[in-house]
Amino acid sequence: MKCKRCGELAAVKLPSHHAGFCPGCFELFFRKQVETAVRRHAMIAPGEKVLVAVSGGKDSLALMRVLSDLGHDVTGLHVHLGIPDSSDPVCARTEAYCRENGFALHVLRTGDVGLAIPKVKAAVHRPICAVCGKIKRHYFNRFAYENGFAALATGHNLDDEVARLFANVLRWDATYLGSQGPTLPSEGRFVRKIKPLYRLTEFETAAYCFLKGIDHWKAACPYSGGASFTGHKKLFADLEHASPGQKIAFYEAFLAKGREHFAETNREGRQQLTPCASCGYPSSGELCGVCRIRALVAK
Ligand code: AMP
Ligand code: FES
Ligand code: ZN
Q: How many A from CA of 77 to the centre of ligand 3?
A: 20
Question: Which of 6-10, 167-171, 215-219 shows the lowest mean pLDDT across its residues?
Answer: 215-219
pLDDT of residue 268: 75
CB-ligand 2 contact for 279 (6 Å cutoff): no
Of 143, 159, 152, 133, residue with least CA distance to 194: 152
Task: Specify the pairing of strand 151-153 against strand 49-53.
Answer: parallel
Strands (E), 99-184: 104-109, 151-153, 183-184
- CA 280 to ligand 3 center in whole angstroms: 6
* Residue 166, domain extent: 40-214+224-271
CA angle 146, 151, 153 (to 5 degrees): 115
pLDDT above 90 for 269: no
Reported confidence tier of residue 41, pLDDT bands at 50, 70, 90: very high
Q: What is the pLDDT of residue 231?
A: 87
The verdict on residue 278 lying in a domain is no
Within a domain: residue 102? yes
Cross-strand partners of 193: 152, 184
Q: Decide if 219 is inside a domain.
A: no
Residue 104 located in a structural domain = yes
**Is 185 strand, coil or helix?**
coil
Residue 299 lies in a domain: no
Residue 13 has pLDDT above 70, yes or no: yes
> Can you give the pLDDT at residue 299?
87
In a domain, residue 205? The reply is yes
pLDDT at 271 over 80: no
CATH of the domain at 134: 3.40.50.620
Closest atom of ligand 2 relative to the 117 alpha carbon: 3
Atom in ligand 1 nearest the alpha carbon of residue 80: 19
Ligand having the closest approach to the CA of 87: 1
Q: Is residue 230 included in any domain, yes or no?
A: yes
C-alpha dihedral (22, 93, 129, 255), degrees to nearest 10: -30
Provide the domain count of the chain: 1
